[in-house]
Amino acid sequence: MALPVFAAAAEATTSPKTEPGGLDGAMVFATSCGWCHQSGGRVAGRGPRLAGTDKSDDFIIDRIKKGKAPVMPSFGRSFNDEQLRAIVAYIRSLHDEP
């Protein structure tokens, strides 16, 4: 059973994955990506499951920036490079989560 969006956001923030430099990737993910990538990206929702992805960091960053019509909007103007690295670090950490 998938968690409601607000529960997924709260779950993501209870075990933050922090990018070197202190940016909380879990929080950035929860507030922008968690609406579609359920349970903090651990299960499919409106967006695909991200835990254990085999996509490259560059692919993930490009997808976040450009989106994928018609299902994912572009976030190219929403995140700076540090935030994008923090999101990728968070996604990479998901394989360690139960």
27-60, pLDDT tens digit by residue?
Answer: 999 999 999 998 999 989 999 999 999 999 999 9
Which domains occur in the chain, in start order?
A: 5-96 (1.10.760.10)
| CA–CA dist 90, 24 (Å, integer) | 8
Give CA 76 to chain center in angstroms: 14
Length of the chain: 98
Q: Max Cα separation, the chain?
A: 35
The whole-number average pLDDT for the span 78-83 is 95
pLDDT in tens, 8-23: 444 444 344 454 566 8
**Are 41 and 94 spatial neighbours (Cβ–Cβ below 8 Å)?**
yes
The neighbouring-strand residues paired with 68 are 72
**Are 13 and 26 spatial neighbours (Cβ–Cβ below 8 Å)?**
yes
